[in-house]
Amino acid sequence: MESSVSGGVAMESSVFSDIVGQEIRLERRSYSDTCREFTIIRPKLSLRSLIGWTCCVWVIAYLLFLYTELSAVLSAAILVSLLGLLVHLHVFRVEEESLLVLGSLGLQRSSVFGSGRETSNFLEMWRIRDLLLTETVSGCAVHYGLCVLTGDGQLIPVFRGPQPRLDCLREIYRSVQEVLSRDRQCMSPR
């Protein structure tokens, strides 16, 4: 765990693993007692994996070419592998996700994809009923997630890309609950 303070912002960084066992980094920034940011960063797409998948597609295409003797098969393989990579990076590959907790205002979720595309959603505090650690059983595997429970009963997952393990999620959950409880104490009549 690394800690530092710069410009009044306390920052800590820890290394965890995701559900597949790959290393992910959790960065915590504390701007004040009621404003904290949690960012989960996964490693960049490895060149070895990219080359491996590309070679597999092209070998299959070459075998189809030998069997059918159609040169269009090779062109299609190149096109499919390039389009597949672009779609994967732009839609599915989440490089980093963050949760910004703004005391009495709400929560902001942000995602940065492999292509550089960024998305953000903001949930106002009046819509948030609670923050929950959820458990999902799929076959023989148990997956944990951090979700926001809204006033109308909707569950909104916070981290969808990196899928951190329970130890990382617990740390985020405790810190966010601390901010939310501090906000609720300030809002309640005395």
Winning range, highest mean pLDDT, from 2-6, 112-116, 150-154: 150-154
Q: Residue 45 pLDDT more than 80? A: no
Helix (H, G, I), strand (E, B) or coil at 163: coil
Q: Residues 6 or more apart from 54 whose CB is under 8 A from it?
A: 81, 85
Strand partners, 4: 11
Q: In whole angstroms, what is the distance from residue 97 CA to residue 117 CA?
A: 12
Rounded to an integer, what distance in angstroms lies between the CA atom of residue 119 and that of residue 98?
Answer: 11
Residue 104 near residue 183 (C-beta atoms within 8 A): yes
pLDDT at 34 over 80: yes
What sections of 69-165 are H helices per DSSP?
A: 72-87
> Which tens digit of pLDDT belongs to each residue from 6-26?
677 888 999 999 888 889 999
- Say if residue 164 is exposed, middle or buried (CB neighbours under 10 Å; 0-12, 13-18, 19+): buried
pLDDT > 90 fraction of the chain, expressed in percent and rounded: 37
DSSP letter at 88?
I
Q: What is the pLDDT of residue 189?
A: 55
- Please say if the pLDDT value at position 148 is more than 80: yes
Q: What is the pLDDT of residues 158-190, one digit of tens each?
A: 988 888 999 999 999 999 999 888 766 665 555
3-state secondary structure of 40: strand
- Residue 109: band (very low, low, confident or very high) from pLDDT cuts 50, 70, 90: very high
Q: Is pLDDT of 41 > 80?
A: yes
Give the pLDDT score at 176: 92
Mean predicted lDDT score pLDDT of the chain = 85
Q: What is the pTM of this model?
A: 0.79
Please enumerate in sequence order all residues whose Cβ is within 8 A of that of 58, keeping only pairs 6 or more positions apart, or say none.
Answer: 77, 78, 81
- Determine the pLDDT at residue 184: 64
